Amino acid sequence: MYVMVAGPVSCGKTTLCQRLAGLPLIGCKTQTIIQIGAAIDTPGEYLEGRWYWNRLINSSAEADLLLLALDCGNRHYQLMAGLASMFNCPVTGVITKADIGGEEEIESVRKRLVLAGASPVFAVSAFTGQGIESLLEFFQQEEVFQK
């Protein structure tokens, strides 16, 4: 089973994929859709530019779950309401870089992800490991990475 990760530029998608795959955390710019372990990592531009949405939609056909990521450091990025409905798989929200955000920032991002249609929403930090265990437990319940 595959999990696709989508979100804006520099929100920590690749780092999250590396953490989930048990790989060393190496910061890099994702230029095209790539596979990291059982995760499908996408460039942030694919979500930010509507002309690329067809690539996200087509790639999500291979995914059993989509993680919609948004980081605590990006206070102003708005996701379109109901965005999750364009995908043919369940959409779960991930608040990345939770270690640098306070409760107010985390709650603000949570509200934006819920408005976009993501449920449930997890707050994680790929660097510190915060919240990763809860996300992995959710994957086990949903049988993600199990088949």
Which pTM does this prediction carry?
Answer: 0.92
Which residues is 5 bridged to in the sheet? 41, 67
Query: How do the domains of the chain map onto residue ranges?
Result: 3-141
Model pLDDT, residue 27? 81
With 60 as the cut, is the pLDDT of residue 147 above it? no
Q: Lowest mean pLDDT: which of 50-54, 92-96, 131-135, 142-146?
A: 142-146
CATH match of 3-141 with 3.30.2320.50: no
66: DSSP letter: E
pLDDT in tens, 46-79: 999 989 999 999 989 989 999 999 999 888 888 9
In angstroms, rounded to a whole number, what is the distance separating the alpha carbons of residues 122 and 98? 9
Start-end of H helices in 79-124: 103-115
Closest listed residue to residue 136, CA positions, set 82, 75, 92, 84: 92
